[in-house]
Structure 1
């Protein structure tokens, strides 16, 4: 078990999210940065969909009441044990009684901590993901607080293998890790920093020429009111050619909708299930994790590509993730 000695700004239990309930008004939720989430689980040999901790901007202080194997991915919150840096993007064996300290994120805003076996959470509609607006799922339906105790699921055979060989390795005081690591998200995104690729949304042609040109050429900044529901963008306001009544219809991760004030919003994991605002664009799946890591005040631009190009990029990325997972499994079994 793990005890929260000091709570971060917003730490919740998240997994791959719930599926099949959006038609009933329940948001899919799940990890906001799906790349970091998946890579964290791959590094410790977890099954796809295992629950992790998602920390936002400022991390927690965690006491390990029993030995564990974890991995840390996403934003760098300078994790330390006994004053020594704990490396990210690889499995790390932690001894019983050690305290893992996180501080503020240096780049990005979301950090993921996976543990061999996955964290135990409260099931809500088939997912352990914390649904904050419903006070459901995760750990008591809320963010973690000081004194919370987290449990871990029974480890798989692969989890036991990585724990066994790491526990016998030479170590720093209190923890040990291998020389190898999984690649960071940059290896998978195949894109330009500060740029989000998208294809035209359902209502793209309803916007006036100036707005479409501004969306594709001007830089926007992530607003301070952004959260897990969406990234609110500050910059050139966008307008329709003429007023339109838009029927509410389904939205998804990465949908860019434009409310009446003309300031675009990128919808994220805890988005509403339907929206009645015009949708100027849809960010491609490969770049949604990049959107989820935007810091308040960080600049971002958009580049339009075609739907077939987006599909090709996704297939390439998924192939790389698969090969990464297979490589990690081989390394674990080889010891």
Structure 2
């Protein structure tokens, strides 16, 4: 189902960037049918961008990987850019991230270059219209569904508003730095023990939680293959079972795989840990060659941190 209807065109894509696609907060509840939730890799950043412009947190926006697009503004709006810092500019002037910005027809949003991070998010008041599949506008590239014909943006695409923008348009909302996720060049990801953690010997467990792991070149929205010390496992093969984003699988190579937004819904590799949902936003901002660490924690601690971080979004309202 397409949402475009009679809503006004909002953006014309002058340059699409390396990889820009429409995403929302995904399609939960479909794993039983083999469909991952998908949606934004950095869910906090997309939710914040939406709230900054007066949208519901789950409205559709743009996920921009590696570089940002160049967008011509076709109708007045308030927009916000969050997540990675790709040096956003409006009509050639640098503008702040994590802040609602008023734009008029003819204005141009572009990006100077990557300063840090892997994915930036753009939201506009009223949200973006998209092809919805299983209740979500999220682009699922594997089967070409959702978003804009199930594909990344390309030059000359026109993006429409999904609905009426809030009235009045309010610019200037911001989320101060202390209330954003603790992004860093080598984040420590809160990790709870997985069901097969006992298959790693004590020395291997110390390596899993004590050594940095490098994101390999084999990394995408499905998952990151990590490089580091080999972690041998013991025991018989595992019967395939359900998986979720954040699972740390351990294949026979002994090199972990961290599942991300489009990760498979079932598999037979041992799962030795699970990254807390709130820290998947930190992992989402890593590029190949960058590193992360796993920090063992308890489920209750991870849940409390998740609630605390998302409560910070209330400051935008």
Where on the TM-score scale, by shorter chain, does this alignment land: which range?
A: over 0.9
Quick check: 1:42 aligned with 2:51? yes
CA distance in structure 2 between the partners assigned to 1:206 and 1:126 by the alignment: 39
Change (3 A) 1:84 1:189: closer
Query: What do the CA deviations read for 1:24-69 (whole angstroms, capped 9, x no partner)?
Result: 1111101100111111011011012100100000111111122121
Match for 1:32 among 37, 41, 45?
41
In structure 1, the residue matched to 2:107 is 98
Tell me whether 130-139 or 247-256 shows the greater mean CA deviation.
247-256
Residue 60 of structure 1 contacts residue 103 of structure 1 at CA under 8 Å; is this kept in 2?
Answer: no
Change (3 A) 1:293 1:190: closer
Tell me whether 211-220 or 97-106 shows the greater mean CA deviation.
97-106
CA distance in structure 2 between the partners assigned to 1:234 and 1:45 by the alignment: 41
Tell me whether 144-153 or 189-198 shows the greater mean CA deviation.
189-198
What pairs with 1:169-184 in structure 2 (closer than 5 Å)? 178=172, 181-184=174-177
Quick check: 1:212 aligned with 2:179? no
| TM-score, length of structure 2 as denominator length | 0.92
Residue 213 of structure 2 contacts residue 226 of structure 2 at CA under 8 Å; is this kept in 1?
Answer: yes
CA distance in structure 2 between the partners assigned to 1:232 and 1:130 by the alignment: 22
Higher strand content, 1 or 2? 2
The CA deviation at 1:105 is 2.4
Quick check: 1:69 aligned with 2:61? no
Tell me whether 187-196 or 56-65 shows the greater mean CA deviation.
187-196
The CA deviation at 1:103 is 4.0
Secondary structure (helix, strand or coil) at the match of 1:162 reads: coil
In structure 2, the residue matched to 1:301 is 293
Quick check: 1:113 aligned with 2:105? no
Stretches of structure 2 lacking an aligned partner (at least 5 in a row): 1-8
What pairs with 1:156-235 in structure 2 (closer than 5 Å)? 156=165, 159-163=166-170, 166=171, 178=172, 181-184=174-177, 187-189=179-181, 194-235=187-228
| TM-score, length of structure 1 as denominator length | 0.87
Query: What do the CA deviations read for 1:69-92 (whole angstroms, capped 9, x no partner)?
Result: 100000011111232102111111
RMSD over aligned Cα, in angstroms? 1.7
In structure 1, the residue matched to 2:21 is 12
The CA deviation at 1:246 is 0.8
Higher helix content, 1 or 2? 1
Stretches of structure 1 lacking an aligned partner (at least 5 in a row): 167-177, 330-335
